[in-house]
Chains A and B, each alone.
Chain A
Amino acid sequence: MKRALSILTLSLGMTALSSANAQTTVTFWTWYLSPKFDNYIKTTIAAFEKANPGIKVQWFDKQDSMVQDFIASVNLGNAPDVVNLNIDETQKAAQNGFLRAVSDFTPTATLNRTFYAQSLRNFTTGGKVYAYPWYGWINEGVLVYNPELLQKAGLSRAPRSSSEMLTYAKTIKDKTGAYGWVPALKDPNTASFLGFFYAEGLPIYGADGRAVFNSPRHAALLNQYVTLFRGGYIPEDAVRREAFQLATELYAQNRVAMIVGGPQALTRIKDTNPGLYAKTVVTGAPVGPANVQTGGSMALVIPRASKNPEAAAKLAAFFTNNANQLAFAKVVPVVPTTLGAQSAAQFKVTSQDPIAKATGLVGASGRFINPGYKAPGNSDDLYKNFNDNIEAALLGRKSAQQALNDAAAYWNANMKK
């Protein structure tokens, strides 16, 4: 009897232990998604946990200090398992060896079947994909404009090309006093002006990987913006502040006539100036001679220091699958990075509401999401130098050609391969 009891106790203990062992807790960090999207994230996590009974998800939303917290957590030995990073940070993290390649967990064929090829390329470095692409946005997805300001400037239609945008900027400022639009001349922490070269069809890197953005054609393009800036046709704050933030702020005050961007610009206008939102017209944005668009995307990555990489990869794949990205696009006007989104019925709805119209215009265009340039190794230093040179040109301290020559020379001397 005593022996039977012992066996029973032991087997019960073993069962309890094995069920405890079967439970894996995955730590999931998002970036700037709480509290606005708590409901969506929590619902998706619940669905994942239901489909994967052995996995429990602990969700934390990080904001300003995301990257610093990530590095500190690696140092302390408690790294998160799934982390939400953007294209640039993913590239930097992968180049420095912080991440696991996602092909370690998901077959390449499956990745290719799920995501746009360009979306995967955005997160590829050294020949490997380091992230599950998540929601994205198109920089030139839509043109949002204030029809009254255009009318006052004597313009009867929206601009249809990037060169027309430059002409419009001058006309609108001269006739109305408002700025035409706010181009992303030197957004902090990136090298946004490279996007203009890409839109123009001008190369950033040569075949050997060296920076080649200092040809006379590159300089001529930069010079057009320098002339506009120095003539007072672009807000002077554009050298100091992020273009998108500045543009939405000034648009809501009737001080900027057009915003080139995604539907997300409209959300803020709706909140701050509902009257202007109601009047706002949404149309396709003009593109440059290369007929390409730029854009950005978020992704989910698996840190090398993750203690549960397999379960983490399951969660990342789940959050980024077609159904969940489409569901997220219903909550907020983001652009899914999944191939399946191209045929989604939700983007075919026609509406006169600006946000709904903009969402319909860009929702299925995830294949165009491309920053236009790959983050170079040592990108923090290189971006800073590039932006300093763009600023020197804008403020008249260097000619456009000299600024680009100096930046290219610095890049080629300091770029880590």
Chain B
Amino acid sequence: MRVPWRTTLLSYTFLAPALILLGVFTFYPLLYGSYLGFTEYNGARFAQGLDPKWVGTANFEKLFADPLFMTALQNSLKYLLVVPALQLAALGVAVLVNKQLPGMAIFRAGFYVPVVTSISLAAVMWEWVFNREGTLNWLLRSLGLTSPEAQFGWLNSEVWAFWAVMLVTFWRGFGYYMVLYLAGLQNIPEELEEAAVLDGASAWQRFWKITVPLMRPTILLCTLLSTIAALRVLEEVLVLTNGGPLNSTYTALMYVFSKAFQGFDFDYGLASAAGLVVAAVALVLSFVNFKLFNRPEEEQT
């Protein structure tokens, strides 16, 4: 069917504002940033008003020879462990709070509070939790699991700081994904559940045979968002550990941030190259997510 040119023009006119904004604030920075990854563009060149200088893959060679970047990349990949834990917990709790019971709205709002809490406030709060004299040690001691002599500051431990920061990421993201799952759950037709109940299906069977298959698009979306967020984790690390101790919490985005934005010794070329590596990892993981969760309809039933 041929679309009249007037209709086409009108459609593009409506699309134009969004396309222009996307072009200016998304596609241009993306392309320019990718280009910078192949250039030498540091504080000295910038201050002298010199253009970026093409250096091919030199930045990437430098990156992969830098032990700090390799540690940062490994930490970022390890950080992805938060994704399945976060998704399972958010989906599970969403199912629990998807009930029309009195006071349930308060529970839902409560879970969402960490999402809107500022990171500086969250940092102060979690400092109290993780300190040597903090609430976590108090709890463990009260339960008889540790002695006062064995206590330590969780954020100062090379072994535990990483998991402590990850717990904060979990806490901050949990409510957000739960709300998305809740929205997905409320789109599942009630008749399906009722029919399954009449057929004698248990709650567990209903969850796996009805809820999970129908929630697959939401699970894909949440997993994708969560994977990308885990690869981009920065704020929690900056305010709680600044990448330490011994770089055990130093992530790839922190490397990008330090090279691009910290002080006058910046190196946009190297930062952009590091950003491209992180983006490439994100793309590969997104592809894996699509393969896992975006099966055709007939396969799902």
Binding site for B on A (CB under 8 A): 67-68, 71, 74-75, 89, 92-93, 95-98, 188-189, 236-237, 239-240, 304, 378-381, 384, 388, 391-392, 395, 397
- Nearest B residue to A186 via CB reads B244
For B242, list chain A residues within 8 Å (CB): 188, 240
Select the stretch in B26-34, B43-51, B171-179 that faces chain A: B43-51
- Nearest B residue to A93 via CB reads B264
For B262, list chain A residues within 8 Å (CB): 67, 189, 380
A381 touches B265 (CB 8 A): yes
Would you give the shortest CB distance from B267 to chain A, in whole angstroms? 9
Q: Which 9 A/B pairs are nearest by Cβ-Cβ distance?
A: A96-B43, A97-B47, A92-B264, A380-B265, A98-B47, A93-B264, A236-B156, A96-B264, A96-B44
Partner of B264, one of A89, A236, A240: A89
Map CB proximity to A onto B249-270 as digits: 1 under 8 Å, 0 otherwise: 0000000001001111110000
Would you give the shortest CB distance from B246 to chain A, in whole angstroms? 6
Q: A391 and B263 in contact (CB under 8 A), knowing A98-B47, A237-B156?
A: no
A89 vs B265: C-alpha distance in the bound complex, in angstroms? 10
Q: Does B241 contact A (CB under 8 A)?
A: yes
A71 vs B152: C-alpha distance in the bound complex, in angstroms? 41
Would you give the shortest CB distance from A381 to chain B, in whole angstroms? 7
For B266, list chain A residues within 8 Å (CB): 71
A237 touches B153 (CB 8 A): yes
A189 vs B44: C-alpha distance in the bound complex, in angstroms? 20
Would you give the shortest CB distance from A88 to chain B, in whole angstroms? 8
Q: Does B294 contact A (CB under 8 A)?
A: no
Q: Does B155 contact A (CB under 8 A)?
A: yes
B261 touches A68 (CB 8 A): yes
B158 touches A395 (CB 8 A): yes
Would you give the shortest CB distance from A399 to chain B, in whole angstroms? 15
- Most central of B43, B132, B247, B261 by chain A CB within 10 Å: B43
A188 vs B158: C-alpha distance in the bound complex, in angstroms? 18
Q: A240 and B156 in contact (CB under 8 A), knowing A96-B43, A98-B47?
A: yes
A236 vs B134: C-alpha distance in the bound complex, in angstroms? 14
For B46, list chain A residues within 8 Å (CB): 71, 74-75, 96
- Most central of B44, B46, B47, B245 by chain A CB within 10 Å: B47
A80 vs B264: C-alpha distance in the bound complex, in angstroms? 16
For A68, list chain B residues within 8 Å (CB): 261
Would you give the shortest CB distance from A384 to chain B, in whole angstroms? 8
- Nearest B residue to A70 via CB reads B264
B156 touches A96 (CB 8 A): no
B244 touches A391 (CB 8 A): yes
A97 touches B265 (CB 8 A): no
Q: Enumerate 9 A-B pairs (CB-CB under 8 Å) in ascending A order.
A: A71-B264, A75-B46, A96-B43, A96-B265, A98-B47, A188-B242, A237-B131, A237-B156, A384-B68
